[in-house]
Amino acid sequence: MTTSAHTLASGRGWQVLDVVCTAGAADRPFEEEHRGFCIAAVTAGTFRYRARQGTAMLAPGALLLGNPGTCYECGHEHGAGDRCLSFHFGPAYVEQIVADVPGVKTLAFGTPRLPPLPALAPLLAEAEAARETADTDAFEELGLRIAGAAVAAASSAVHAAGSPSRRDQKRVAEAVRRIELDAERPVSLAELANETATSPYHFLRTFRHVAGMTPYQFLLKTRLHRAAVRLRRSDETISAIAFEAGFNDLSTFNRRFRRVMGEAPGAYRVRRRG
C-alpha cells in the first residue's frame, strides 16, 4: 500500500484523518470513491487530483474538495509523496453548515480544489499544529470552521476557463517542491523559470494558473505557515522563528504575519495557547 490513513479524531457525522501517501511516478493511479464530503488540506507534497468537477494540481496550502459518491483519482507523475489533513463529513452534517453560511444554497462542490487562500491560512496553520501536538480535542471545532470557510469560498470562487496542461502542471509541481525545500532562502523568479526551461513571464503566468497564486506569494505563504506552526508548538523567541523561516527583518515578518494571520505573532502565540 502506498497510502496510510490514521484517524486523529471523530464524532457524530465527522472524522479527521492524517493521510500519508508515498506513491511516485512509477505507481499507477487507481480510482477511489468519496463516501461523504471530503475537505483535505495538503500539508506536504504535490499530486494531481481528478474528479467529476475537473482536474487540478494540489500543492501545500490547497484544499481538495470531494462530494459524496464521486469517484476520483490521484496521480504522482510530477513527484513522490504527499501528506494531507483529511476532514470527512456526512451529508446531514454539511447540510447544517450550509444552512448557516450566507448566500450558499447547494451541498455540492463545483470545483475540485481551492488554492491557498489568505482567509484560510490561520485555520490551516492551527490544524497542522494540532496534528503535530496531538491536540485531538481541537479537531471538532477546527473541522466546523474549515468546512464553513471552504463552503463559503468554493461558492464564491471565480475559476479561469480551461484546465492547465499536464506539462504545465509538472513544471509548477517541480517549482513548488523546489520552493518548499529552500523556503528559508531567497528564490528568484528567473531561477525557477530557468529550471523549468521557460521564460520568466510564461512561468509566472503558468504558476499562477495552476497554483492559484504567484511563486512569491507561495514562498511567503510557506514561510508564514511554518512560522505559525512553530509559534504554537515551541517556546523559541519570535525573532529566532522569523529569521529561521527566511525573514531577514523582524518588522517585516511582524507586518506580513499580521496581514495574513490577522494578528501580531505575539498575540497569535498567546491566544492560541490560551
> 219: left (phi > 0), else alpha (psi -120 to 50), else beta?
alpha
pTM of the model: 0.73
Pairing verdict, β 31-33 and 71-75: antiparallel
Give the confidence band of 14 by pLDDT, cuts at 50, 70, 90: very high
Measured in whole angstroms, the distance separating CA 4 from the mean position of its chain's CA atoms is: 19
> Taking a C-beta distance cutoff of 8 angstroms, is the pair 18, 35 a contact?
no
Task: Compute the Cα dihedral for 125, 131, 135, 138 and give only its sign.
Answer: positive
Alpha helices in 28-138 (DSSP H): 91-99, 121-132
Asked whether the beta carbons of 219 and 228 are under 8 A apart, the reply is no
The pLDDT of residue 79: 75
Does residue 161 register a pLDDT over 50? no
65-110 pLDDT, tens per residue? 999 999 999 988 877 889 999 999 999 989 888 887 887 777 889 9
Task: Summarize pLDDT for 165-195 with one digit per residue, the tens.
Answer: 888 888 888 899 889 888 888 888 888 888 8
- In eight-state DSSP terms, residue 107 is S
Q: How confident is the model at residue 197 (pLDDT cuts 50, 70, 90)?
A: confident
Backbone φ, ψ for residue 130 (5° rounding): -65, -40
- Residues 6+ positions from 181 with CB-CB distance below 8 Å: none
Q: What is the pLDDT of residues 16-50, one digit of tens each?
A: 999 999 988 888 887 899 999 999 999 999 999 99
Q: What confidence category does residue 1 fall into, taking pLDDT thresholds of 50, 70 and 90? A: low
Tell me the sheet residues that pair with 11.
14
60: left (phi over 0), alpha (psi -120 to 50) or beta: beta
